Structure 1
Amino acid sequence: MIAMDFHGHFRRSALELGIPEDEVGKFDQLLRFEIWSGGEPHGTPVGRRGGRPRLPEDVERQLGGPWELPFVASYDCAALPGIDDLALPSDGSLLFFLDHEEAVEADSEEDAQRYARVVYVPAESGLSVDGGYDLFATVQPELPHWVDMDEEELSGYQRQQVLDLPHRSELVALVGRLWPKSGQGEIRLGGYSGHIGALSGKNVYATPEIEMAWKNIKDRKAGMTPDEAMFCVEEELQQVMREWTPLAQFRADYVHVGRFLIRREDLAARRLDKVFSVTEFLE
């Protein structure tokens, strides 16, 4: 895994523009990086999408026998670019499995976990995948949706967050110059979850993290006005996002999206059995 100091590069570039260090640091806390992977060839392949993996016998035993869940993709962790925001293993392979049709029809979130799995396979196992196609990776920046919106469009919480960011438009433009976006990430590792930055006014996208935040404040919101409840959930959302990261997000087909979320401390400790899977039907 080749690690680069993306946040350091951003901070140095922002300071060279004469923007105050405190403001640069606060903005940098909003900036995340994610690994975009797809089938368009460039550089060295980092993984494989589709096909069928040949799992080592010891891995199959850990899973309780032959693994029949649909295979999504595998990644060679040593070939992936390293980003500070995502504590992936430095070697070995990560494999993603999801039966999206069964998961979306499950009776509960707990029951849906039976239809998803993330598996780590050590480098010495000799993992191979029959069929499918190569995946290639780029690192892309991501910011909350609202960072460059006009102040009158922001919620009360968001206005509070931008009070100390008078140069936010310049900083957003700097991010775009340093890392121009091109194409789409077929499978995204890290970053923000879906429309996570778009919690504003009445436009609430029910991403998994937002759902967690609402659940966390359910006992506190009794008696609150709608504006107070929105402020409270946005505040709680920041804590949820500090604790959790989207390990992988992808279109399972034209109408289903799969997400694998994990607490950062569990990812760092390689506790992949703690991954929480969410499957969404888009129509």
Structure 2
Amino acid sequence: MTPEMRDRLRPFRDEATARGIPADDVERWSATVRPCATLRRDGDGDGDGDGDGPVVGRFGGPLMLPADIPDPSHPFVASIDLAALPADATDLPLPPDGRLLLFAFPETAGDSETMGSVVYVPVGTAVTERDRDAWNSFDFEDYAAMFKAFPQGPLRATADVSLPWHHAVERAERPGSGPLPGHPRSEELVAAWGRTRSGIAPEGPLQIGGYADEEAICTDPVSVAVSRAVRAAEAGGWDGPVSADVSDWVLLADWYAGMDVEGWESSTVHWVIQREDLAARRFDRAFTSVFSNP
């Protein structure tokens, strides 16, 4: 934890202490902090800091892809200019430049398929404009209307801090869940973060790195995504190899689709990737999991 991170977390630590949580528990939880980049459109949120950061990409816009990349099977969400991200905005080993394109269908289907994809376009790569509706080959009108409701416009980035929103892990030895290992007061600490987060790192519709969040959260959404990736690989719906160890994975990005798309108010899209795939820039190996509470 850098001195700047520690200073930014002061309101959280004060709130946790006021709730009677022992100092050791507060410090152990604070040490889990991760940097992240929060991306917002002008006018998003409550106005506090909106539009202050550099433009690092956009929601929607033309779909520009290399000729050897097939038409994606999911709708186009956003493109990120990695060179424009603030320095050290995340702790992910992202390429220093090029564009990251995110695709997703913000609805749950089955537990054995990915609901999106990621394409990395290095600097200098020749690209051509594609049909943004090619994913909807059957021309389903309802889905076409949903895609038209996807957000559009430039995205500005703010370097933020992120603490876990999940407070429990599934217990193998008996049904149910328990507090995060090493953090017996995890549920109370998450509540303290929820009380203070808006004044420390206000949320935006898109987040790069950090911890995953969703409407109804208990266990880590990344762990859910990993279990789905394992099942998808076993069912032949996604190429392996796949590690079942959550520590081998990271959150690449979160999209709170419910902020923008009518009818999907509870939906959150999680793009996750294995650490070794990220280091090797194999973004085609990212897996997309969606939380939806219809």
Q: TM-score range by the shorter chain?
A: 0.5 to 0.7
Among 13, 26, 36, which residue is 1:34 paired with? 36
Among 73, 89, 96, the alignment partner of 1:90 is 96
Structure 1 contact 46–135 (Cα < 8 Å) conserved: yes
The SS at the match of 2:54 is coil
Residue 10 of structure 1 aligns with an amino acid whose one-letter code is M
Q: How far apart, CA to CA, are the structure 2 residues paired with 1:24 and 1:281?
A: 31
Aligned position for 1:194: 213
Q: CA deviation at 1:194?
A: 1.4
Q: Is the 8 A contact 1:48 1:133 kept in 2?
A: yes
Closer, same or farther in 2 for the Cα pair 1:93/1:128, shift >3 Å?
farther
Q: Distance in 2 between matches of 1:265 and 1:214?
A: 19
Q: How far off is 1:161 after superposition? A: 2.6
Q: Which residue of the partner structure matches residue 277 of structure 1?
A: 288
Q: Give the TM-score normalised by the residue count of structure 1.
A: 0.61
Correspondence list, 1:1-283, <5 A: 7-10=2-5, 26-40=28-42, 41-55=51-65, 59-61=66-68, 63-64=69-70, 66-67=71-72, 69-81=74-86, 82-101=88-107, 104-105=108-109, 107-109=110-112, 112-113=113-114, 116-125=116-125, 132-145=152-165, 157-158=179-180, 160-161=182-183, 180-182=200-202, 184-194=203-213, 199=218, 205=219, 207-210=221-224, 212=226, 240=246, 242-252=247-257, 253-254=261-262, 255=264, 256-283=267-294
Is the 1:48–1:129 contact (alpha carbons within 8 Å) kept by the matching residues of 2?
A: no
Q: Quickly say closer, same or farther: Cα 1:8–1:214, change in 2 above 3 A.
A: farther
CA deviation digits over 1:167-186, x for unaligned, max 9?
A: x98xx89xx69x8233x311
Q: Distance in 1 between matches of 2:128 and 2:41?
A: 18
| Consecutive unaligned residues in structure 2, runs of 5 or more | 10-23, 43-50, 131-150, 168-176, 231-243
Are 2:272 and 2:286, in contact at CA under 8 Å, matched by a contact in 1?
yes
Whole-angstrom CA distance in 1 between matches of 2:181 and 2:111: 36
**Structure 2 counterpart SS, 1:87:** coil
Q: How many residues are matched?
A: 223
- What is the CA RMSD across the aligned residues, in angstroms? 4.4
CA distance in 1, matches of 2:213, 2:255: 10
Post-superposition offset of 1:84: 4.8
The alpha-carbon distance between structure 1 residues 198 and 144, as it changes in their structure 2 partners (threshold 3 A), is farther
- In the superposition, relative to structure 1, how do residues 161 and 23 fare at CA in structure 2: closer, same or farther (>3 Å)? closer
- Whichever structure has more helix as a proportion of its residues is 1
- Once the two structures are superposed, residues 180-222 of structure 1 have per-residue CA deviations (whole angstroms, 9 ceiling, x without a partner) of 233x3111111111159964xxxxx573414757999xxxxxx
Please tell me whether the aligned partners of residues 145 and 197 of structure 1 are also in contact (alpha carbons under 8 angstroms): no
